[in-house]
Amino acid sequence: MSGRALPGFPCRTAGALLVAVAFLFSPLAAHAAELPALTGRVVDNAGLIDAATKAALTQKLADFETKGSDQIVVATIPSLGGEEIEPYANRLFRFWKLGQAKENNGVLLLVAKNDRKMRIEVGYGLEGTLTDLHTKLIIENDMVPAFRAGDFSGGISKAVDDMIMVLAGNPEELEARGKRNPANDSPADPILMLFIILWATIFLGGLAMAFLPPIFGTQLSPGVY
């Protein structure tokens, strides 16, 4: 095809359309947060892990990788910059090229401090070992309680221990612990409970006003008690 514009659709109009399309898609690019550099097995850009724990984790992850070939990296960031944690973790995992390329056996433990979000991104080669159930149990039973208590170093360290335990072929303890301490035993939403109580009060009050006066009240006139 030549570069000639179609009749009624000059080149300057096409250029304006391209600018408009670029403008429409620019917010998507703006929401893609910048990815940090891979500086080690523990990248604590949010400053959540104390120095002693960071050193211990780094050594533990190095020893684990040496014994086998699976690779675990811990990352903390201040914010996701408006991006959801799932696509961010996936982008970071691919950007850092975790695990062996042919095995795809990397694992990323990501914590976004200001967003209060956590995710364990697992390479395809390990999805059958470190399953969604395992990562859910690790986050909800190890990290969430520790983080609520302000013990970020302890929560991350315990999560790493459990990931190593599962990847080493011993998931039974984690699964048993999850059954003993189900994460779904959380208190009911107070707003929902208030709504239910208010609705029940109005409903039962209406029934009482309709049926109790004729039974227990004094009739003042026909239909009036």
Residues in CB range of 148: below 8 A, 6 or more apart: none
What CA–CA distance (Å, rounded) separates 151 from 144?
10
Amino acid identity at 97: K
Phi-psi region of 132 (alpha: psi -120 to 50; beta: other; left: phi over 0): alpha
What CA–CA distance (Å, rounded) separates 68 from 71?
9
Tell me what pLDDT residue 180 has.
Answer: 75
For the domain made up of 42-180, the CATH class stated in words is alpha beta
Tell me what pLDDT residue 202 has.
Answer: 78
Do the beta carbons of residue 85 and residue 115 sit within 8 Å? yes
Residues in CB range of 55: below 8 A, 6 or more apart: none
Using CA atoms of 123, 127, 129, 134 in order, give the dihedral in degrees to the nearest 10: 100
pTM recorded for the entire structure: 0.68
Tell me what pLDDT residue 19 has.
Answer: 39
Per-10-residue mean pLDDT, the chain, length 225? 36 42 44 85 98 98 95 98 96 97 95 97 96 96 97 98 96 85 52 64 69 63 61
Tokens of 203: 């409903």
Integer angstrom CA distances of residue 183 from 47, 78, 117, 139, 196: 27, 26, 16, 10, 24
Do the beta carbons of residue 123 and residue 101 sit within 8 Å? no
Tell me what pLDDT residue 205 has.
Answer: 66
Phi, psi dihedral angles at 149 (to 5 degrees): -85, 0
Tokens of 117: 């979000």
Tell me what pLDDT residue 217 has.
Answer: 61
